[in-house]
Amino acid sequence: MGIILFLIAASLVLALGFLVSFLWAYKTGQYEDDYTPSVRILLDDVVSIKQDKSKVKTTIKLEEKIKTQLK
């Protein structure tokens, strides 16, 4: 009988923890933007393309520096 009371108390503490975390997320604005995630896949990811181009340019510059140092 004691284990049943322990399990009930543990489940209530766990449920209270989930409730507190949900309320915290709600109060900090985690659920404010419900439109953007549904259309995010339809938008182009321009920022990452620009970043990738700059990474490629940087890599090419580094390769050129290495080639000139090796000569």
- Are the beta carbons of 31 and 25 closer than 8 angstroms? yes
User: 3-state class of 28 per DSSP?
Assistant: coil
pTM: 0.48
Output b/e per residue, 30-43; b: 16+ Cβ within 10 A. Answer: eeeeeeeeeeeeee
Tell me the pLDDT tens digit for each residue of 17-52. Answer: 999 999 999 999 888 877 776 776 776 655 555 555
Whole domain around residue 28: which residue ranges?
2-70
- For residue 63, pLDDT beyond 80: no
Number of domain units in the chain: 1
Q: Which region, left, alpha or beta, applies to residue 29 given φ > 0 means left and ψ of -120 to 50 means alpha?
A: left
